Homo-oligomer: A and B are copies of this chain.
Amino acid sequence: MIQSIIKNVKNAPHSGHLASYIPALANQSKDLFAACLVDERGEILTFGDVDYLFTLQSISKVMSFIVAADHLGLDRVLEKVDVEPTGDPFNSIVRLEVAEKGKPFNPMINAGAITVASLLPGDSVESRVKSVTDFISKVTGRQHSVNQEVYQSEIETAYRNRAIANYLKANDYLIGTVDEALETYLQLCSIEVSTVDLAKFGLFLANDGLPLNENTKLITRKTAQFSKALMMTCGLYNTSGKYAATIGIPMKSGVSGGVLCTVQDGQVEHLKGHMGIAVFSPMIDEIGNSVKGMDFLQQLSDYYKLSVF
């Protein structure tokens, strides 16, 4: 049955648009499509361009939160960023100013993620970014690096993010310099992964921190719980509530077209138990979610009853 879902989604006419704010994203082929599911025993299903590399963009917010929480302890991270959903688009400043003291609402919006970037281990942008790429490598089993072309494009036009970062600094929600935090954040957004990598990361979350084929958990159960809850309540910008209701699994999307998902307990064909799921298709809607990605996940969740609700 999953074959037929894939076929439906791939053959559907395109809607949405390629992310247009940087050339590297605007020039992707709109026909790219990949999906991957992997379960706790290592059983795997792959469809389409699963080795194509794309940048994490907002999906990196999950990884950086985990690394910061692992480094400083969850409680100290929560002193600098709340975990409440906002209903606002991901780069709003109004929320920062109206909320008491300017504390960012959660690590899945830009403000929160910039704060989190400033909390990563290391004494330079490079070492902080490396703390995240190294961590992802432990989960995926291969090296990851920053796409410098994408990063350069991002940083040249990051006026709104730079405004947010300065505002956070003014209110003491940023460690170190504004430039370091912003550069770290944008480099994290530019880390490249494949759809298979993302699916493995989803499994790692379902496993509460145990990578595929490993024996040692990398993070605490509580950090895993917070990460998954944040993905459920805030993972899809200001459509998180709608998709929690209709799809019902923790997900995090990025404007490059990827979606990271984690399933606590389910069965899809011969896969079962904890599962990681990832999908990639670069045409996004006006909210910033992959159109075909969300379509695939909706049909998958409906047919295989993956919703936690």
Contacts and interface: CB of A to CB of B under 8 A. Distances in A.
A49 to B, nearest CB: 30
A38 interface: no
A241 B248 contact: no
A98 B105 contact: no
Contact of A163 (B82, B170, B229, B248): B170
A85 B240 contact: yes
A163 to B, nearest CB: 4
Interface stretch (A4-12, A89-97, A251-259, A292-300): A89-97
Interface stretch (A22-30, A119-127, A231-239, A276-284): A231-239
Chain B CB within 10 Å — which of A105, A241, A246 has the most?
Answer: A241
Interface residues of A, number: 52
A230 interface: yes
A61 to B, nearest CB: 14
Contacts of A97: 92-94
B233 A246 contact: no
Given A84-B85, A162-B162, 15 more contacts: A83-B245, A85-B87, A87-B105, A93-B94, A93-B163, A94-B98, A159-B166, A159-B169, A160-B167, A160-B170, A222-B246, A229-B241, A229-B248, A232-B309, A308-B308
